[in-house]
Structure 1
Amino acid sequence: MHDEGVATTERTILALPSVGPDPLTLDRARDAVVGYARGMRWLRFRSPGIPEGRWAQVPAFGWSRFDARPVGENLDADVLIGEGLHGRLDPAGWHAVHDALAALAPRVEALAARADGRPFWELPDEELSVLGEPGTVGALLRGIGEDAGSHAPHVLAALHHRRPDLVPHLTRTTRRTLLPHLEEGDSGVEAVVHRELRVNDVGFAALESAVAAELSGTAPTRLRLHDVLLWLATTLRFAHAEDEGRRLRSSRSSG
């Protein structure tokens, strides 16, 4: 089913119940993602050389520490990627994430084999349904989430960064937001993400192109775009990111 993702040459609509009851236009979604990627905020800091302190602008969100980083060469780099999005870990937490990534590696390989080169949004619905289990993508993702450990957001961030077209990035906050949208037979909350991507296939294809045009050098997959929009809405940061994206676009146009 792709009929709910309405698109015309002038206007594209994203119907995302997990983000909110009102459809999103392409320009709002694009501005929010661009604001997430390029938006800045003020931070006041002190140092031995400047004991009185001063203001500095720093990235408002995690894009530069996560999305803009290359894929790591080993598990140590993967842990650093997770920290870039979700914050520093203490030594015990660092080792827990490292060990979880190592333990989950065979299951992630099985997941990739099951997908057989298909991105998450092109998988048939049966892959995210309990009716097709065991061995489905949905069952494998559910198991990965259950065994990600006490620092699951760090683990899933690292796994998504390695396979941005296959492994959804979920946090406790976004997972709870997706729960009310589960339908009978869903293998897990990943099925909700899959359904929204499938329904809005045309809209997300347009959003991918629009964001890639704005962010030269980086082209986030629609799986990451859904994650960003959901997280911004769930954490009440959507308006700030959208305003930042609109401001940045306006400043480029006026310049």
Structure 2
Amino acid sequence: MTGKQRYFIELAYDGTSYHGWQIQQNAVSVQELLNKALTTILRQEIETTGCGRTDTGVHAREFFAHFDAEEANGLLFAGQNNKTETEPHAGDHGSKLRGLNSILPPDIAIKNIIPVHADAHARFDATLRSYQYHLHFHKDPFLHGYSWLVRDVPDMELMNQAAAIIMEYTDFSCFSKSNTQVKTNNCKISRAEWEKTDQGMVFHISADRFLRNMVRAIVGTLMMVGKKEMPPDAVREIIESKNRSNAGTSVPACGLYLTEVKYNYL
């Protein structure tokens, strides 16, 4: 008996070599390589839908996509990869994971493939997304491409005051790229704070959804506060203006990571 089964695929990737997640002309993307690998392993044409899109050079520690696959005589992927090899279909599931990882480049890793209900949607069903943005203050070849090197240490206390103000709002038009064709610029931010690390600082932000370029624009604006170019309260005027040109410049992509995506049924 043949039918279609929907799957979620969990992956992680180093975005340095890619023009983001989404397929585009004349540029290599993570989605393009994943589609080709799944098509090869499953011997049928596969198209994935991602939980969002990441820009060129942005990394993902956790990313989900969904796809549909024709199935003959049972599941192509049975259960999750935490099953033992003695359980039914677990070996086949593990072998397909290994097969995918063997043909994908080293900077893309498949973590899991999970059967889900037919209406499950990687983008629209996500209830929470979390990002981190990393800064460091001393030249370090092992952080190059994975954190933003900043010469002067910003005032973290002032930046956290401004971050707390940002959480009071929902319309973030001022932090979004123009002409993105979204229905609303409203987002519910549940966390926005800086913390010190051994290398420098990291900004944590979580919300139900994000606009294009939003996190990098927020970090750029908070850095203006941290450099004492404007007081924390100035972010109120920026947000209420709904004008992107009033906010700070976008910080480099290398320091940005998508770290968590949550669903009610996973």
Per the normalisation by structure 1, the TM-score is 0.23
Structure label with greater radius of gyration: 2
Higher strand share: 2
Indicate the structure whose relative CO is greater, using CA pairs within 8 Å and at least 6 residues apart. 1
Higher helix share: 1
Per the normalisation by structure 2, the TM-score is 0.22
